[in-house]
Structure 1
Amino acid sequence: MKWTSISAIYFLFWTFSAFVLLPFGVRTSEEAGEERIPGQADSAPHRFDLSRHLLRTTVVATALFALYYLNWTFGWIGTDAFDFYHPN
């Protein structure tokens, strides 16, 4: 696999992981026991820690990409595994 393909697929895994992990570890102002700013949405996070989120995203994306790359290298699950119309 070319390095350009590797980096593009890793970027896709990273972006997917970033969006999936957004709601985890975030508390609202009400849950944190703080007052809300006037006009703030009820669901707005109290304090969003970007560096922590980026670290979590990178760890999850790297693990998922490693599994993907190992499967691509060793062929554990191929396209035949998803052929539900013509099973062998």
Structure 2
Amino acid sequence: MTWFTGTVVFLLVWWTALFCILPIGTRPDPDGDIEAGGWRGAPVAPNLGWKLIGTTGLTVVIWAILYVVIESDWLSFRTGFLAMP
């Protein structure tokens, strides 16, 4: 895996993990004070900083696993039973 491919895979995994982590712990505002600019259903405290840090940590773990699988000959289309004739 080249550095460009690794970066692209990291960004794709990060973006997917972000959408998996965003709804965790989010509670909607039942009242929604319109004068203050809030809407009913908007999160009270989204904690985006912690979610971005958690997303990055999860992505590092998933990316490391993907890197090991891609770089090893365990799953290879060039050798082994998956090889094309």
The question of a shared fold, defined as TM-score above 0.5 by the shorter chain, is answered with yes
Structure with bigger helix share is 1
Describe the shift of the 1:23–1:78 C-alpha distance in structure 2 as closer, same or farther (beyond 3 A): farther
Amino acid aligned to 2:66: Y
Shift of 1:13: 0.5
| Higher RCO (C-alpha 8 Å, min separation 6) | 1
Shift of 1:45: 0.8
What residue is the counterpart of 1:84 in the other structure? Answer: none
Mark the runs of 5 or more structure 2 residues left unpaired by the alignment: none
Shift of 1:12: 0.4
C-alpha separation between the residues in 2 aligned to 1:73 and 1:2?
A: 10
C-alpha separation between the residues in 2 aligned to 1:37 and 1:75?
A: 58
**Which runs of at least 4 in structure 1 moved beyond 2 Å after TM superposition?**
75-80
2:32 equivalent to 1:58: no
What residue is the counterpart of 1:17 in the other structure? Answer: 17
- What do you get for the CA RMSD once the two structures are aligned? 1.9
Shift of 1:47: 1.1
C-alpha separation between the residues in 2 aligned to 1:21 and 1:28?
A: 16
What residue is the counterpart of 1:47 in the other structure? Answer: 45
TM-score by length of 1: 0.71
C-alpha separation between the residues in 2 aligned to 1:48 and 1:60?
A: 18
